[in-house]
Amino acid sequence: MSENIISVSHLEKSFGGNQVLRDIDFKAYTGDVISIIGSSGSGKSTLLRCINQLEKPTSGAIFFHGKNIQDPGFSLSAYRAKVGMVFQNFNLFNNLSVLQNCVVGQVKVLNRDHGTAAKRALEILEKVGMSQYIEAKPAQISGGQKQRVAIARALAMDPEVLLFDEPTSALDPEMVGEVLNVMGTLAKSGLTMLVVTHEMDFAREVSNRIVFMDEGVIVEDATPEEMFVNPKSERTKAFLNRFRNR
């Protein structure tokens, strides 16, 4: 039995009068690879950003190993180190080299000494195939390479969960594969992953669960087989059909 790692309970989020998330209930267990799909504006990014606390929920609660992350005594900094985020636009630190991008968090947040941090960063950059570029600045590498470094930066914190927000959407088609490969390897390694994606092949083959969101609610939460072969909701069917006919 794997352990419940993240649990979202009655989460609501509004921007002004615009309610973006409604009564979201959702649990992730260790080793889960969950794809979150849904049309544009359905609230997928907002859900991930609430989990990482880049957005503060309007109401509801999020638990990490059973602890409410909004409790006053909860260390957000330590939590964020454990729950990393990979962005659509990479957001590599532009003033730092590839290596430093993967070192700075370890040194400042985890208080590792510089040598240990650099060694760990190198190991991980090796894994994502970027160890040759440690001296390059973000502006000097391609989109696919940037995203692999961004993944390495998150991994360097030794996280328990990684959140991916459309990690391949800003990439040229020929670079999508290299990033999905890295993510596939991570999924096999047992890392818990929440992936907002429009890559249906990835969702079907790599994830063990798919969450379909529409207009701020979770419409369906099922295994890939159930979701693709036998979706329960009409809304899910309509969404998947639109995808197939594209």
* In the complex, least distance from residue 146 CB atom to Mg ion, rounded to whole angstroms: 18
Report whether 146 contacts 177 (CB < 8 A). Answer: no
CA 77 to mean position of chain CA atoms: 17
**What H or E segment, with its residue span, contains residue 104?**
helix 98-108
Segment near another protein (CB under 8 A), from 33-41, 84-92, 199-207, 233-241? Answer: 84-92
Q: For residues 87 and 152, which CB has a smaller minimum distance to ligand ATP in the complex? A: 87
Phi (first) and psi of residue 61, to 5 degrees: -140, 155
Q: Which is nearer to Mg ion, 90 or 134 (CB)?
A: 90
State the number of binding residues for another protein (CB under 8 A).
41
Nearest to 154 by CA among 97, 195, 89, 105: 105
Measured from the CB of residue 41, what is the shortest distance to Mg ion in angstroms?
Answer: 8
45 binds Mg ion, rule: CB under 5 A: yes
Q: Are the C-beta atoms of 38 and 213 separated by less than 8 Å?
A: yes
- Minimum CB–partner distance for residue 227 and ligand ATP (Å): 17
105 binds another protein (CB under 8 A): yes
| Span of 38-46, 112-120, 146-154, 237-245 interacting with Mg ion by CB under 5 A | 38-46
CB of 231 to another protein, least distance (A): 32
Q: How far is the CB of 45 from ligand ATP (least distance, A)?
A: 3
How far is the CA of 38 from the CAs of 4, 105, 200, 219, 235, in angstroms?
24, 32, 11, 9, 10
Q: Which residue has the tokens 């929440």?
A: 194
End-to-end Cα distance, the chain: 39
d(CA 30, CA 3): 6
Letters for 127-156 (x = contact with another protein by CB under 8 A, - = none) are ----xxxxxxx-xxxx-------x--xx--
Positions in the binding site for another protein (CB under 8 A): 52, 54, 56, 70, 72, 76-81, 84-85, 87, 89, 91-97, 104-105, 108-109, 131-137, 139-142, 150, 153-154, 157
Binding site for Mg ion (CB under 5 A): 45
